[in-house]
Every structure is written in C-alpha cells, then in structure tokens.
Amino acid sequence: MAAPVAAAEAFPSVVPQAASAPAAVACRNVTVRFITDRRTVTALENVSFAVERGGFLSLLGPSGCGKSTLLRVVADLVSPTSGAVSVLGLSPQEARLKRSLGFVFQDAALLPWRTALQNVELPLEVGGAKALPAGAPTPRELLKLVGLEGWEGSYPHELSGGMRQRVSIARALLGGPRLLLMDEPFGALDEITRDRLNEELRRIWQETGTTIMFVTHSVYEALFLGEQVLVLAANPGRVTELVDVGLPRDRTLKIRETQPFVEIAANLRDLLGRGA
Ligand SMILES: Nc1ncnc2c1ncn2[C@@H]1O[C@H](COP(=O)(O)OP(=O)(O)OP(=O)(O)O)[C@@H](O)[C@H]1O
C-alpha cells in the first residue's frame, strides 16, 4: 500500500473547526414529493438529522426508502418540497457552487478514453475551475491516497472494478471537498474487494477529515463504516432512528467478530424490520 499523503497539508479543510461551527449537514423536517402523471410518491417525509463536521454517517434502509433522494437533496440535485437543509452552514446550492461537495456513485462512471490520472483531473477541465485551491492535493497525490500509485497511466478497461471505484473516489476528493456523498459505491463489487475498500475508506476518512454520508443496504457495511447510522423506513421514506455506533475509531474488519459489533448489528436489523 502506498504511503498516504500528509492529510494536514493536503486537506486544509481538516483544520479543526471552532466549537460553534455549523453542522456539516443539517436537515429539518425535509419532505420530498415526486409528482408524475401516474402517481405522487412521498420519497421523504419530515426527515430531520444532523451530521457533525468530520463525521461519518451511514444511511441504511430498504429499497425505495429515499436514501438516494436524501443524498441528492444535500447535493442540490433535488429540491425539497418543504423543510430546511443546511450544508456547511450554507444552502445546498451555495455549497455546490463553492465546490464543497464530492459525489461517488455506484458506477465509477469513468471516461474510457482517459487514463486514471486524466479521469481524476476531469473536474478541473469541465468544472471551469482552472486551478486547485491552495494546499489541495494534486490528482497524483489523490491516486496515491487511494492506493493507486503507479497506475496513473492505466485506462479504465485495464483496472479492476475496485480500482475503478478508487479512481472515482480520488476524483470526488479533487479540490479537497469538505463533504463526500457516496451512493452505494461498493454495491457492485465482490465481497472481498468490498471489505478491502471499506477498510480503505475508513483510513481515507481519518486522513482527510472529510465528512462522509454513505448509502448502503448492508447492515455490516453501515456499521463498520459509520460513526452514526441513520436507519430509514419506506412508504413514505422516514427516519426510524439515528444510532450512535460508539465503536473504536481505529477499526479493522476483525471488529465485526466482536460482541459490541454483533449486538449493534442485531439492533440495526431490528430497526430495519420495524420499518418494513
Ligand atoms: N425523479 C424521480 N421521479 C419520480 N419518483 C422518484 C424520483 N426519484 C426517486 N423517486 C421515487 O422516490 C422513492 C425513493 O427513491 P430513492 O431512489 O431515493 O430510494 P432508495 O432508498 O435510494 O432506493 P434504492 O435502495 O433501491 O436505490 C422511490 O419510490 C422512487 O420511485
């Protein structure tokens, strides 16, 4: 594994925030209704929660409970029907325009004719931001951070699914975003690769200090990754409970065999069942 870049110099956003700094994300009574010709869907109803800066929130719930919609509200891709959303103390639109957000999707969505390095550089070209903010890590440093030093010149078809997803994480981290939104990024990967990337993501989170919101269907993934788990129920999409995980900050996959992990996982499964 490549040595990580020094987080403090690479990610100026890691500099500790004043105690009074607003939450990374705060939603109050957020409702989203989609009205189509055929039906009206309440994707989210009165959803309230907050994520502190530098936090890691897993969003766990059954299909259709509004997990992706919630990420899209935070990313300014969907406007709430009612309720208030604050992202780093700004509106989602202001946060987006300030390039405070990175987004990773289930599909790595790399351009096949560009190398790994050129894919990471892409937002610089299409986003209109000609230069990186002072002190932000370079595309090469980001590839090193995600364990792809030496693969800069490889094309997507020469990389495994896990490596492609690492490239997309590096791309999302370009510019040192203070908030990383991840929508089932490892859902399509085999179990071993997924496990490895789970450990990698915890390390990247600790090194960068970036706040993360991570969508998953998996109880184990939600619990291993998150400092908090927001459990959602469907029809309408709503919060069942916000669970503080309370597991040690330094985690390896071994933690999944410990008693506290097993007990919290059982509790999360109960909560999921309650909302079914
Ligand atoms: N643009 C849209 N137009 C109409 N309905 C939508 C739209 N986006 C989402 N929905 C509906 O909102 C509900 C929540 O969808 P969403 O994709 O947020 O759920 P999810 O929890 O992420 O599901 P999954 O785990 O299957 O990805 C679903 O009923 C879906 O059909």
What's 72's domain CATH number? 3.40.50.300
Give me the mean pLDDT over the 56-85 stretch: 95
Q: pLDDT higher for 255 or 193?
A: 255
Residue 137: which pLDDT band, with cuts at 50, 70 and 90?
A: confident
Report pTM. Answer: 0.89
Q: Provide the mean pLDDT of the chain.
A: 88
In a domain, 63, yes or no: yes
pLDDT at 128 over 90: no
Q: Whose CA is nearest to atom 7 of ligand 1?
A: 34
pLDDT at 108 over 90: no
Residue 276: which pLDDT band, with cuts at 50, 70 and 90?
A: low
What pLDDT shows up at residue 218?
93
Q: Are 132 and 138 in contact (CB under 8 A)?
A: yes
Residue 135: which pLDDT band, with cuts at 50, 70 and 90?
A: confident
What pLDDT shows up at residue 20?
65
In a domain, 3, yes or no: no
Gap from CA of 214 to ligand 1 centroid (Å)? 16
pLDDT at 13 over 70: no
In a domain, 143, yes or no: no
DSSP-assigned states of every residue in 146-158 = TT-TT-TT--GGG
What pLDDT shows up at residue 99?
83
In a domain, 240, yes or no: yes
What pLDDT shows up at residue 15?
41
Gap from CA of 43 to ligand 1 centroid (Å)? 6
CA separation for the pair 51, 244 (Å, rounded): 11
What pLDDT shows up at residue 265?
96
Q: Whose CA is nearest to atom 29 of ligand 1?
A: 64
Under DSSP, the state recorded for 65 is: S
In a domain, 173, yes or no: no
Which of 68, 183, 213, 217 for a ligand 1 pocket mutation test, highest count of atoms within 8 Å of Cβ?
Answer: 68
Gap from CA of 98 to ligand 1 centroid (Å)? 27
What pLDDT shows up at residue 149?
92
User: Of all atoms in ligand 1, which is nearest to the CA of residue 235?
Assistant: 29
In a domain, 140, yes or no: no
pLDDT tens per residue across span 152-161: 999 999 999 8
Share of the chain above pLDDT 70, in %: 91
Total domains in the chain come to 1
What pLDDT shows up at residue 7?
39
Gap from CA of 102 to ligand 1 centroid (Å)? 21
Give me the mean pLDDT over the 236-257 stretch: 94
pLDDT at 129 over 90: no
Q: Which residue is associated with the tokens 């792809």?
A: 148
In a domain, 121, yes or no: no
Gap from CA of 264 to ligand 1 centroid (Å)? 27
In a domain, 170, yes or no: no
pLDDT tens per residue across span 259-274: 999 999 999 999 998 8
Ligand 1 binding site (Cβ under 6 Å of any ligand atom) = 34, 36, 41, 43, 61, 63-69, 237
Question: Tokens at residue 79, please?
Answer: 């406007």
| Bridging pattern class, strands 25-35 and 82-87 | antiparallel
Q: Are 88 and 96 in contact (CB under 8 A)?
A: no
Domain of residue 95, residue span: 11-110+180-274
